[in-house]
Amino acid sequence: MTEWWADVVAKFVAAFITKDRWKLYLNGLGLTMEIAFFAGIIGIILGIIIALCRLSRNRNGGKTFLSVIAGVYIDVIRGTPSVLQLLIMWFIIMKNSTNSVLVASLAFGINSGAYVAEIFRAGILAVDPGQTEAGRSVGLSKSQTMLYIVLPQAIKNALPPICNEFITLIKETAIVGYVGLSDLTRVANQITSRTYEAFMPLIGAAVIYFVVIKILTILLGILERRLRKSDNR
């Protein structure tokens, strides 16, 4: 038992303490959160635009050109692996870019935008149609009604799933190592190659991911409870 514990401690020291390797984990986590943050912003902005395009209709109630394009975008993004989208963005679309964080953020933001668009579309459709009729009856245009009445309620409906999408986005960024970025997962792999021991670096990275996701999940639960309270007023 004593030898086993000494071996565990030695592996922990080699994976986290020796040469201040814990700093590598922090830097990797920082890069992970940075990419997820900017990708989340891109995804939300793009998602709102795509959702509105998807819901657009002509005077006869048929699909518009923008609606068709939005549908194709959602189908293509949701129907292809995110790692391939990252590789296409890295090696083809922005192969001359020197800003690796920007490239990764765009790739994940465009991917997230397809899912966020469906979330916002569902949020808009969940708003009582009477709200739109009330807005039009007081003289607001169709776009004004959408902007000032429908969209704020849709955002409130979509906020919890959007937060869940951000949590998912944090975990999806673990594939940025494919293009050479030293995120948390790649740091764990790099330390594994230096120590010739996989257990402690990989488990350590998993624990860090878990703690971060758990904190965000708790915050999301608090947000959802507050939203329910405001709905009951």
* Rounded-to-10 torsion of CA 65, 66, 71, 75: 100
Residues 213 and 205: beta-carbon distance below 8 Å? no
Q: What was the pLDDT predicted at 150? A: 81
Residues 165 and 119: beta-carbon distance below 8 Å? yes
Q: What was the pLDDT predicted at 19? A: 87
Using the predicted structure, report yes or no on whether residue 12 has a pLDDT greater than 70.
yes
Residue position matching structure tokens 């004004």: 144
What number is the average pLDDT over the span 89-102?
90
What share of the chain has pLDDT > 70, as a percent?
97
Q: 2-231 adopts what CATH topology?
A: MetI-like fold (1.10.3720)
- Cα 89 to Cα 79: distance, rounded to the nearest angstrom: 16
pLDDT digit string, tens, across residues 135-181? 777 777 777 887 778 888 888 888 888 888 999 999 999 999 888 88
- Cα 11 to Cα 226: distance, rounded to the nearest angstrom: 44
Residues 109 and 41: beta-carbon distance below 8 Å? yes
Domain-by-domain residue ranges, the chain?
2-231
Using the predicted structure, report yes or no on whether residue 71 has a pLDDT greater than 60.
yes
Q: What was the pLDDT predicted at 231? A: 61
More confident residue, 56 or 208: 208
pTM summary value? 0.88
